[in-house]
Amino acid sequence: MSQSKAGRPPAGTPVVAVEKLTIAQPHGRVLLHQADFALAAGEVVILAGPSGSGKSTLVNLLSGAISAADEGWRIAGHVTYGGSRVDLASERVTLGGVVFQNFALFDELTVGQNLAIAAEHNELVGPALVSAIDGLLKDVDRSVPVNSCSGGQQQRVAIARTLLGNHPVLFLDEPNSGLDVSASKRLAGLIRSLSRDVGVPVVIIAHHYRHLIDVADRVLMLDPRSHALVELPADAHRLEQELEAIEAAHGEPVAEADRPVAPDRVTAKVAVSAGPMRASAAWRLDWTMRFLAGYLWELCFSPSALLFVGLGSVIVGFVTTWFIFQYLPFRDLLLPIIHSDALAGVAFAELRVLAPLTTAVLIGTRNAALIGADIGHKVYSDQIKAMRNLNVPHDVYLTGTILVASAVASIVLVLMSECLTGWVAMATWAYIFPDDSTYMWRDQYFQRLWPPGQLLMDGTDWIAAKAVPSIVGAAGIALYFGYRAKSTVVDINQSIAQALIWGLSYILIWQSVLTLIEFKYVSARLETTF
């Protein structure tokens, strides 16, 4: 296969060939049967068909979102690209870069970072592609958050980012959805010139094909009657006639069939093929640290997290000390007798039980809500799919860093809670007994918990065993619900609610069980120090 100077084949050269492709959904519905098609360098192809005919499924298959390994799917056929032939029945292919309908830009990053993350996780692109991308984004400031760009700019950033993924095929999912006529025409021209400049075949999924078909070389239409991929000339009138005929014969399309594949059903059981197909995603330290810093701030150090822990600690330190020493029955008589033991008991309750519990409950639930919302939003807005498609390892950058940040949060915030609870307990006691030495408080408060000369408080291991798995576990639960398929905003809300409910239940169960075990061990040891 001859290559252009930019490393791309000349226009018109066949790039990808798909042979005898059969796709059957998990419920048994056949979308394609023994279909053949090819894509040539620099051509623009409209992928048309009624809703539910399998257009998105075909794109998902060729961009690696689904494979024969996913439960229930039956897939057969071969793909040939760059001298490699892949059996779709046994291997996953990531042949196409996808520009999602909602762009799926990583909204916590700037424009430049959106491009960089794609470029740094894929092979270097040629100068022609770089030049095309520069042309595409000549009016876009790359230092601004991507959210601050206009819709048109975001679409061009999404296209540029997908091009940086260096895929042999570019898929555009409903690119003109929501655009007015002139914008739609401008987009069509852009796609045409881009396809020519970079020599990549562009496949456009479009319901509104009026202006796009003008720049297309041909049309591939999914015919649900024959489960075939029918090639049509790039003629809007002809395409309309065909679609009307299908609808008349076939009735209402099955909407579910057109839905994207649920991410939780996309597993990596099938090896990603080498060579012209995608290499497995490799994580990079700089990006890991960048995501980790973001989640550390969000989950651990942000003022709201510190405020939660601060208020919780004040309540624990004040309430337990105040009520035990102020409202003790027969206070005057009993206080001199039990004062020392009461302080030791309060210390145990506050520092070993209540401070870790309160912190775990407050931070675990707060973070579960944040993680559920963040990941839920990323799933709903196709950012997770985009990360997979761009070879960006979300399991490291999102899942991994969230769990690490949660672990750090559990240590830092429990430590903070211990500090504040202890001080508030001391201040409350000093208010109740203004004539007594606070060093005596310290002496009696820590008499069984922190013997003089010992580096760490007794039971630090128990505190860590209760707090770290609580907060990290709640984060894991939130990740589970966050990663589940989302088709509406309500699904995000539900995943947040479920993350809260199950996360909190888990924290309470874990803390209760561990505290009971701790009491069993501690009571025997306390006997000797009493």
- Residues within the interface to other proteins (CB under 8 A): 108, 291, 294-295, 297-298, 301-303, 306-307, 310, 332-333, 335-337, 339-340, 374, 412, 415-416, 418-420, 422-423, 425-426, 436-440, 442-444, 446, 450-453, 529-530
Q: Are 96 and 170 in contact (CB under 8 A)?
A: yes
* Cα Rg of the chain (Å, integer): 30
**Closer residue to other proteins (CB): 76 or 440:** 440
DSSP letter string, 94-147: --EEEE-TT----TTSBHHHHHHHHHHTSPPPPHHHHHHHHHHTTT--TTSBGG
3-state class (DSSP) for residue 362: helix
Residue type, 477: I
Least distance CB 472 / other proteins (angstroms)? 18
**Closer residue to other proteins (CB): 83 or 453:** 453
User: What residues form DSSP beta bridges with 37?
Assistant: 18
**Closer residue to other proteins (CB): 194 or 414:** 414
**Closer residue to other proteins (CB): 34 or 529:** 529
Least distance CB 227 / other proteins (angstroms)? 43
Least distance CB 346 / other proteins (angstroms)? 13
Q: Which two structure tokens, joined as six digits, stand for 366?
A: 């707060």
Least distance CB 311 / other proteins (angstroms)? 12
**Closer residue to other proteins (CB): 327 or 439:** 439
Q: What is the 3-state secondary structure (H, E, C) of 424-475?
A: HHHHHHHHHCCCCCHHHHHHHHCCCCCCCCCCCCCCHHHHHHHHHHHHHHHH
Sign for the CA dihedral angle at 421, 425, 430, 432 comes to positive
User: What residues form DSSP beta bridges with 18?
Assistant: 37, 79
Least distance CB 253 / other proteins (angstroms)? 38
Least distance CB 145 / other proteins (angstroms)? 9
Least distance CB 483 / other proteins (angstroms)? 16
**Closer residue to other proteins (CB): 254 or 449:** 449
Q: Are 205 and 31 in contact (CB under 8 A)?
A: no
**Residues whose CB falls within 8 Å of the CB of residue 528, separated by 6 or more in sequence, listed in order:** none
**Closer residue to other proteins (CB): 195 or 410:** 410
